[in-house]
Structure 1
Amino acid sequence: MLLLLIVVIWGILVATGEGNLPSLLGARATENPLAQTDSEDLNGHNPASEPISEASFSLPPVNSANASLPLLLVWEGADEAYLGQSPILVEVNLMGGQALGTLTLEVLIPVECFQVQDMNGEQDGIQVQPGELAGAVVKQNEVNAEGLLRYQVSGLGESDVPARNVLTLSLIPVATGVAEVNLQAATATAPAGDALDIEILQPIKLIEIHEATTVATPVSTAAPTEVAETGDGELAGVYYRIQQGENLFRLALRFGCTAEEIAAANGITEMYSVPAGKVLRIPVPPPQGQAAYVVSAGETLYEIAHAFDLAVETLAAENDIPAPYHIQKGQWLVLQPRP
């Protein structure tokens, strides 16, 4: 929800020629609210201060024009964590679709509050989860003993989506309190090597860590989510829970099919009004098994098992996931093996 609000504000600023969001907010905070501006009429009304209806603006068009938008880094993800439960996921997202030569970040993670989950057991050290960036090659990805992440990618292709995931932190809480995860530095270059301006919106991500709840494992009592099946009642294809700000057309681009095919597979007649949180069947073959699920940020294995009316132990065993069943965004889970 926060990311959607940021995209809306950012689109308005770009449309009015004011792309430097942090400096703009700071400038407006110091203005005298009693002073009449040039835009006020004789009755003291300022049209710029009138509430904006949904019909009066729109997001930046999702096309190659996004390549000219300013670069902005934003946090997205959990604001709370609990001791003894699954790791939380926190993302750094990049707004601005132009191609980049390099993108370099430094993130300071408080080791007294969090243990960083290693996302690549085949390499020495601790690595975070790289984002889904077209054409990008990860050049540096390591968290040192002090919790400093140095992360660099090169060769980012041009993108036609307003926000791109750069990296995801999987954080295991180890102490209660308010933790500060600090995106303390960022630089970017064009493919030709020229330095580019890049802004960091709210460098510090605050996360409140609580004592463990009395419930040992999260168990949902709601009815299983209605999941689209094939005509013979079996699971087949790829399943995905649509997120806030996504639509069938973006999912079609991601999974290599058409929006019409997704709509038909799920009995959807209103293609422009699919609610966030709905589990969709994407009619494409999964990389493993007859049916597979793509994990989204914040989901747990318990929730996914419940959605498909499966025992969590069965789902964990099928995917070689040991207790306490930690999973991460972008992970593929086999729901039903091939016959």
Structure 2
Amino acid sequence: MLRLEPSTVSLTVGETALVEVWLDNAEQLDSIELHIGFEPGYVQIEDADPDAEGVQISAGVMPVPAQVLQNEVNNDAGLIVYHVTKAPESLGSRSGTVASFTVRALADGGSPLRFNVVNLLDAEGQPLSVPAQIDGLVIISAGNGTPEPAGGATPTPVPPAAATPAADTPVPVTPSTATGIYYTVQRGENLYRIALRYGTTVDAIVAANDLPDRSAVQAGQTLLIPVSPSTGSVTYVVQPGDTVYSIARRFSTTVETLAALNGIDSSYAIKVGQTLIIVP
């Protein structure tokens, strides 16, 4: 198994934490290549070797590296690339740390730490079975501290603002032809948390809704989440206080149409959390 330890890190803006990459129960490992992705607007990776060119992470013991083929961090693209081969004289340990790195929190929200590429080879250059992988997550809360990244540069990400109450009267929404789920922003939410909930990205939500920036979200606002719904091309998740009438008005449709699409009887009863088809 390939995992990040700890798998979940909670930080305040400006704080740092050490994350280790662990590989368990590996046999005949001679070479390993990892690509780990992260959200550059929310975290950055600190340089483990300031004397070397570029940003690097720390080597581990699984395997003990004889040759570092690639050790690079691109904080602009949100990518770690680590590729090493085993020292010939090193013992063939089955478990241990592959590498470690320090994450710094930049903005309120968070970032997944995802294994995008995993390649393991034996001494003959033959691929080994790719182990199960457990990705990581960095959860960030707002703080009074100002990030101080290595090298003296001060990042300027736009933090996703916590949702603030909107007017009681919802703004009518014209259903898009795009596939997705309509979701009403709740108090205290931001785009990162919504994207994480639905398994998409902040940038995808921004693009789907033509938002001016990542902070343009407020409680009561309806967003199109660009994910494939289980049924229908456009759906909506019922929120507290919703009625069939208010949803029909919000999406510029009729009560009769919603009832027919979703098998709602004449009582027009719906439940919070229920998914309704808006456009079939």
Q: TM-score range by the shorter chain?
A: 0.3 to 0.5
Structure with more strand by fraction = 2
Higher relative contact order (CA 8 A, sep 6+): 2
Structure with more helix by fraction = 1
